[in-house]
Amino acid sequence: MHGDRVLAEPAARRLAEALGTRFGCEPRLVRRPDELADVVADLRTFPLFAEGKIVIVVESGLFADRAAAGTLFDDVRAQLPWSGTAEELQGKARDAALRLLQILRLFDLDAATLGAERALAGLPAAVFAGKSGRAGKAKDADETRAALQPLLAAAVAAGLRGLGEGDASLVADLMRDGLPECHALILVESALADGHPLLEPLARRDALVAAGEVTAEKGKFGGLGSLAAELEGETGVAIDRPALEALARRTLKGEDRRRGGQEGAIEADSTARFAGEYRKLAALAGAGGRIGLAHVNENVEDRGEEDVWGILDAISAGKGAAALAKLTRRIAGAEDPVLERLSFFGLLAALCRRIVAVRGAAALTGLPLTERNYGNFDKRYFQKLVGPLPGIESNPLKGSWSAYPLFKASQAAARLPLSAIERLPDLVLETERRLKGDSGEPDAALANLVLALANPG
């Protein structure tokens, strides 16, 4: 079973219960096992007091290969910085240590033999970038390796082991040789690496099941219907569509692309939060009731994520109050408000550059900035704006942006007075200085730039 855990784990439980009824035994659940070999060894023996054995293993990391090492590292990063002894390695820190050992084994690095420092030195910098796999700066990778040493040293001292290629071979043997009659192994995995050698034989046996995923694109969520249906079946309480969308907005968050997250992917923790809030609302609604929009508004804290492009659209349209409200919500929901402010400032500064450049190019070419239809702008104005400009050796717009960002910039440039546009470069520089230490009120500095763009004067 693979997909979002809120969907995949219940599906695995239903399968296990059905098999348990047929085999005359109770399923056993194992989460994040230190070693899959022990589970398999137990499955290969006959039980003393039952007809069979069924084991559900959740998040073994078995299907993660080198390409998926960054996915595993995102779980490790969440526990940094960490310091302590082997006896203090408990809970989420222990899970992170197991993930780190899994990553090292994927690269044939044995921390027990090499030592923590040498083992970590063998990991490529791209691993520390997370899911994106993009190579980071050497200095950042060195700092991350240093931060990981106490965690890895404690894991080695505690005798922990991570899953590696041997475990994949073990499962391949199970598929080839089979298990004793009335014995079954069910794996529930969220990280499924493309091209993993076990996927094809599992698919041939109709033993690879996609349970479904929740996705996000341009502020809209996909897969909510499956999630709601699963939770309705569990609780016996349905949810109205407006309430479902509001609950998603207040709980679901996309993976952070700056930390290696995938475009459109949803954080696993946020879908778990969605499920927890749904169960709470179902209890409030009572058996046979329905969850309505009022239930969500009154009982669920807004910890969702505001769409950044919606903020920029509000700014371009001159809706200052709406833009500030959206920006406040986005920063409040961020795990790292400082990083979020700087990231949004980068997007806002890019918008300012586009506005200044588009206004200048329009003045040189005599093009009006009154077009409100994107199709007409793309056909009639875009190529002229990015083409040769009189008196300019190299047009700064050429090759820098596609048509749509320049269309949005042209709308903002048409609305802003020339005096406001001429002041933008100085205002961007001033805002950057205030955000990076010259002001004790960074939110006010960012709000000032937003209002200068949305509501000049």
pLDDT digits over 303-319, tens only? 777 778 888 888 888 88
**Helices then strands (H, E): number in the chain?**
21, 9
State the average pLDDT over residues 240-264. 77
Q: Rounded to an integer, what distance in angstroms lies between the CA atom of residue 206 and that of residue 313?
A: 46
Residue 133 has pLDDT above 50, yes or no: no
Cβ atoms of residues 277 and 228 within 8 Å: no
Confidence of residue 218 (pLDDT cuts 50, 70, 90): low
Q: What is the pLDDT of residues 175-217, one digit of tens each?
A: 777 888 999 999 998 877 766 667 778 888 899 999 988 888 7
143 Cβ contact list (under 8 Å, min separation 6) = none
The predicted structure's pLDDT at residue 391: 81
Q: Which residues contact 300 (CB under 8 A, 6 or more apart)?
A: 246, 247, 250, 251, 277, 281
What burial letters (b/e) apply to 194-212, b meaning 16+ CB within 10 Å?
Answer: eebebeeebeeeeebbebb
Give kind and range of the element (H or E) at residue 169. helix 165-177
CA dist., res. 135 & res. 129, Å (int): 7
**Which residue's entry shows tokens 């407006």?**
242
Burial of 346 from C-beta contacts in 10 A (0-12 / 13-18 / 19+): exposed
pLDDT tier at 263, thresholds 50, 70, 90 = low
Please give the domain boundaries of the chain with CATH numbers for all domains.
2-62+165-212 (3.40.50), 66-157 (no CATH), 215-305 (1.10.8), 327-454 (no CATH)
* pLDDT of 237 above 90: yes
The percent of residues above 70 in pLDDT, for the chain, comes to 88
Is residue 68 very low, low, confident or very high in pLDDT (cuts 50, 70, 90)?
low
Over residues 21-37, the mean pLDDT reads: 87
The pLDDT, as a whole number, for residue 380 is 85
Identify which has the larger pLDDT, 127 or 443.
Answer: 443
User: pTM of whole model > 0.85?
Assistant: no
**In sequence order, what DSSP letters do the residues of 273-319 get, joined into one string?**
HHHHHHHHHHHHH-TT-EE-HHHHHHH--------HHHHHHHHHTT-
Question: Over the stretch 404-454, which tens digit does the pLDDT of each residue have?
Answer: 888 888 888 888 898 999 999 999 999 999 888 776 788 898 999 999 888
326 pLDDT more than 90: no
Task: Summarize the confidence of residues 254-276 as an average pLDDT.
Answer: 71
Q: What's the pLDDT at 293?
A: 94
Q: Give the pLDDT band of residue 235 (cuts 50, 70, 90).
A: very high
Whether the per-residue pLDDT at 339 is higher than 50: the answer is yes
Question: What pLDDT digit, counting tens, does each position of 272-299 carry?
Answer: 889 999 999 999 998 888 999 999 999 9
Q: Residue 206 carries which DSSP code?
A: T
Q: Helix H segments across 199-267? A: 199-204, 224-235, 241-251
Indicate whether 102 pLDDT > 50: yes
Predicted local distance difference test score (pLDDT) of residue 135: 44
Q: CA 43 to CA 24: how far, in whole Å?
A: 15
Lookup: tokens for 200? 């094809």
Binned at pLDDT 50, 70 and 90, residue 13 comes out as very high
Mean pLDDT of 79-91: 84
> Average pLDDT over the chain, rounded to whole?
83
pLDDT digits (tens, 9 = 90+) for 362-389: 888 888 888 888 888 888 888 888 888 8
pLDDT, mean of residues 335-356 = 88
Q: Quick one: pLDDT at residue 69?
A: 62
d(C-alpha 341, C-alpha 435), whole Å: 8
pLDDT for residue 284: 93
Residue 258 has pLDDT above 60, yes or no: no
